[in-house]
Structure 1
């Protein structure tokens, strides 16, 4: 009769510390131990010790330390994707059990172009963690959303800004993107003189950036079409009635980005800031984090 030899149980894999992962992701996004330390209100040496513990747990180097910044190693880049997903899953799991006590209504403001790109993902994530909270969405110009936020008519708002100094009090910069000239592929609007433009109203950041660039370059223009909605501006471009300043991510076929050979001046970058009403509460903070995460691709 054969004798069965008991097998030793396999050594369980170590568990990743959520706090260490949060520190790792913060440093990776800031590109610096010093900047990350300011953000989490700790010292760079404390963060360095946390990363050392994480590297020892995994047996891999995660950062290459340079003079003024740090960059991820190949293993660090892999862990960053896992880290973001694990932190998000942890947040959803905790929120799922805590959120039933959170009820009520949140008021969110967003510009037209941002809402169509970001809201579906962000609201889906928020509904999972806070199913009892009603979200009312207001779509409008950043200047009007800022006024509503300052008047306590909104709890969270996404604000378009032309530079990082105009994000508003307490604004958190969450997205930066090139602003480019968009035209219909094969169209002739860009060759007309004066240059026909499709723009939003006078307080629009894109409009201000475009007109300032044309004035500085000495290029004549006329405002051929105005609308506060991106879809309507896009319709004017598709009809080859005008060109328009658009975020690069919105330029999709049959639109095309006009290059330097068009003779039009570069427009630079525009920014999106996230602002919260002071004292808006835990649910508003969660919604704000989901909005920021949607831009990061979490």
Structure 2
């Protein structure tokens, strides 16, 4: 059994976009051609990869299993081709990333990538989750990392994170007064889980500040305005997470996804695959 990259590309694109029409437009092929390629792959594997309905395509359990390997096969196919042809990975990638990841876990991954691929230039665009999603959908980004609720595609990888409630280390809060909360602005998708975490506690609280960026959140917490939600990796040294005896707030969970266009350039797809394979680098 040979898994033709041509068929895998059609499968991946349909899985990410969710419709055959959308995949055909992205791949510059006809709807009939893409449907035939997906059916051919399913016949080859002897498995149904999609559940088909009037709403579009949904991956089956076998499709979910195949999708990770399909991405790896296509990335390795591109890398082998370039290396055997003595063509180094080069070009330019537009990478959009939410600020909380750009400031923490991505640094070591991108450093490792750059050390191995010095001819790949990376434009790093740091924006809000909503703005990153809009730029990705309008093809202004090749690869993006943002909240999964903002993009209606299957992510290459999902990071499951907790937002920890953080305060300046030298500040204590009285149970006799409402807890001062620093909250994300209304357009941020992380506001809803943070507000739900507050609502699930028998606690008096009030929003005293809204922060539009990670820098704004860190500044407000360090100044001592109140308690704010942050990913653990972004907590400043002079601040503390409210846990142990202070664990009166539930930590809301968020999901951050890695996305790449199926029709992206080889260097873009290689970068996305490199990030996925090295996602535990710290």
Band the TM-score falls in, shorter-chain normalisation: 0.5 to 0.7
Deviation at 1:139, TM superposition (A): 0.4
Question: CA–CA distance in 2 between the matches of 1:192 and 1:287?
Answer: 52
Instruction: Say whether residues 1:111 and 2:98 are aligned partners.
Output: yes
- Tell me if structure 1 keeps the 8 A contact 2:129–2:146: yes
1:177 aligns with 2:204: no
Per the alignment, residue 38 of structure 1 pairs with 65
CA shift for structure 1 position 109: 0.5
- Give, in whole Å, the separation in 1 of the partners of 2:85 and 2:183: 45
Q: Give the total of aligned pairs.
A: 214
Structure 1 residue corresponding to 2:211, chosen from 227, 232, 241: 227
Bigger CA radius of gyration? 1
TM-superposed deviation, 1:262: 3.8
1:96–1:128 Cα contact (<8 Å) kept? no
CA distance in 2, matches of 1:171, 1:252: 30
- The RMSD of aligned alpha carbons is 3.4
Per-residue CA distance 1:171-222 (angstroms, 9 max, x = gap): 1333222222111123135757332222332122332211122234354433
Mapped to 2, the partners of 1:134 and 1:281 lie a distance apart of 13
Partner Cα separation in structure 2 for residue 190 and residue 97 of structure 1? 66
The alignment's TM-score, normalised by the length of structure 2, stands at: 0.63
Q: Please report how far the alpha carbon of residue 260 of structure 1 lies from its aligned counterpart in structure 2 after TM superposition.
A: 6.3
Q: Is the 8 A contact 2:218 2:236 kept in 1?
A: no
Q: Which residue of 2 aligns with 1:292?
A: 276
| SS, match of residue 295 in structure 1 | coil
Structure 1 segments unaligned to the other structure (5+ residues)? 1-33, 43-90
Greater relative contact order (Cα 8 A, min sep 6): structure 1 or 2? Answer: 2
Distance 1:101 1:269, change over 3 A: same
Equivalence for 2:241: 257
SS of the counterpart of 1:217? Answer: coil
Residue 271 of structure 2 corresponds to residue 244 of structure 1: no
Distance 1:129 1:279 in 2: 23
Query: Alpha carbons of 1:211 and 1:99: their partners in 2 closer, same or farther (altered >3 Å)?
Result: farther
